[in-house]
Amino acid sequence: MSTRIVWLRRDLRLSDNPALTHAAARCERLLILYIHAPDEEAPWAPGGASRWWLHHSLERLSDALRDAGSELVIRRGPSLEVLRECIDATGADAVCWNRLYDPATRERDGRIKQALRDDGVETRSFNAALLAEPWTVETGSGGPYRVFTPFWKAIREDIGALSPAPVPTLPPPPDIPSEPLASLELLPTLNWADDFSRHWTPGADGARQRLDGFLTDSLEHYADGRDIPSQDLTSGLSPHLHFGEIGPREVLAATRATSSDDGRTRSAKNADKFLSEVAWREFAHHLLFHFPHTTEAVMNPRFRQFSWDGNAQDLDAWQRGRTGIPIVDAGMRQLWRTGWMHNRVRMIVGSLLTKNLRHHWLEGARWFWDTLVDADLANNTLGWQWIAGCGADAAPYFRIFNPVSQGEKFDADGDYVRRFVPELARLPNRYVHAPWSAPADVLRAAALRLGHDYPLPIVDLKASRQAALAAYDAVKG
């Protein structure tokens, strides 16, 4: 009886999963295997919030497979050893998986592919995660893209033809034991993540609900609303996309169907904007694949000698949402409480950390890595290098976000700040983004003692901006 193995990694879904579809059509027994081997992703093994997500996602996947007459078998790594044990135990003659693009897993997967082939086992890999794999797109002169707009132009026509595949009929599983999910010890021992489940439903059903809800309620406000952090107008799909609970082909097809059903120009404009953000994810993977060193080192060589000289105390205040700068503290507390932060605010907190406080962008990237449920090596690396000014298509070095004017512009009525920094709830709008500028009687009326109930700013925004400009000026090109 022929047996195959599908090795699931960050493709935790049954629909539009080409490795699963391929294997299911070619065997009588199908082993669906998840191997927990975080060390193989070092130095970017999943952080705390990602592990929380993964636990729940595996639980949901296991339920879905049981409902489909199959089973999820969970094992702990090393991956090659586990695959060989499973091949021995089941007599499987082929292993299929969907490709990943980060340096550590690419190296591992290449090694495993060779070793299994040497053992005489067939291996097949597929694309489940991207609209355009990194090696399929190149500039006119033949190299990788470094700027987003031409990259998006190059892929947007071709991706029009992509359509997602349905859930396949699954052959029964071979009789092979699984380890209990709890043995992976993915959940935090602190009660830190207790609130996450109020905000998120990991798993493919949760992903589909998010997408449907977004397309029905928010897409038509996306282009203008996506920058307003107090409003829930972005898709919230990032952790689902990261773990492959939904694929980008499914997102693309559903978005196009919605905007063409409805036929309004407004909707087409919003759909275009949304798909261009999804394409930033493609661009991030393109960069990560072609410039794998950028997970640790600057993309722009001019920044190799840049003096990042932040101090530990400021980093701690930033992480805990105690900088005394309201929109920054609101963002950092949103992150801690919900495992996610609005994109506009990610840029504001990143600019403060790398420019005003002059911390190395890797300090920010590492904190996000541990606390974001959507922590993704491609997107996080791109985001941090972009905001620090040392990345591809980076903000001009002189663009230093002023967190007060950003707050006044994108959180004009202070709703976002008030939600996450309740100490400031009673301040009038005029002062909510700069409480230090409020007169004493206003502070008294708001029951706010600066430096006591809420910190004074840890940095002089104007002076630190000048110092950052001078430092960036030295490396500009």
Ligand X SMILES: Cc1cc2nc3c(=O)[nH]c(=O)nc-3n(C[C@H](O)[C@H](O)[C@H](O)COP(=O)(O)OP(=O)(O)OC[C@H]3O[C@@H](n4cnc5c(N)ncnc54)[C@H](O)[C@@H]3O)c2cc1C
Nearer to ligand X among residue 278 and residue 469 (C-beta): 278
Of 308, 402, 408, 436, the catalytic one is 308
Q: Please pick, from the candidates 234, 255, 270, 464, the single residue that binds ligand X as defined by CB under 6 A.
A: 234
- 361 as an active site residue: the answer is yes
329 vs 374 by CB, closer to ligand X? 374
Q: Which of the following is catalytic: 361, 367, 369, 386?
A: 361
Min dist. Cβ of residue 162 to ligand X (A): 16
Cβ–Cβ < 8 Å for 155, 131: yes
Angle between helices 312-320 and 326-338 (to 10 degrees): 70
Nearer to ligand X, 173 or 339 (CB): 339
For residues 113 and 322, what is the distance between their CA atoms, to the nearest angstrom?
48
Residue 376 token pair: 């993704």
Using the rule CB under 6 A, is 237 a contact of ligand X? yes
Q: Are the CB atoms for 152 and 275 separated by under 8 Å? A: no
- Token pair listed for 170: 């699954």
Nearer to ligand X among residue 17 and residue 238 (C-beta): 238
CA-based nearest residue to 202, from 13, 47, 73, 380? 13
**277 a catalytic residue:** yes
* Residue 269 CB coordination number (10 Å): 15
Query: Is residue 220 within the footprint of ligand X (CB under 6 A)?
Result: no
- Asked about 369 being catalytic, the answer comes back as no
Six token digits for residue 126: 């597929």
The beta-carbon contacts of 41-44 under 8 Å, at least 24 apart in sequence, are 41/102, 41/104, 41/105, 42/104, 43/104, 43/296, 44/102, 44/104, 44/295, 44/369, 44/377
Among 11, 374, 411, 423, binds ligand X (CB under 6 A): 374
Site residue total, ligand X (CB under 6 A): 28
- Is residue 436 part of the annotated active site? The answer reads no
In this structure, the chain runs to a length of 477
CB nearer ligand X, residue 56 or residue 226: 226
Residue 236 contacts ligand X per CB under 6 A: yes
Give me the least distance between CB of 372 and ligand X, in Å please: 5
Tell me whether residue 281 or residue 359 sits nearer to ligand X (CB atom).
281
Q: Choose which of 162, 278, 442, 450 interacts with ligand X (CB under 6 A).
A: 278
Beta pairing, strands 29-36 & 72-76 = parallel
Among 61, 82, 100, 241, binds ligand X (CB under 6 A): 241
* CA proximity to 360, closest of 321, 401, 306: 306
> How far is it, in rounded angstroms, from Cα 260 to Cα 188?
44
368 touching ligand X, by CB under 6 A: yes
* Run of H or E residues at 325: none
Q: Can residue 244 be called a binding residue for ligand X (CB under 6 A)?
A: no
Distance CA 24, CA 19 (A): 8
Interaction site with ligand X (CB under 6 A): 226, 234-238, 241-242, 277-278, 280-281, 284, 343, 346-347, 350, 368, 372, 374-376, 379-380, 382-384, 387
* Residues with a known catalytic role: 277, 280, 308, 343, 361, 384
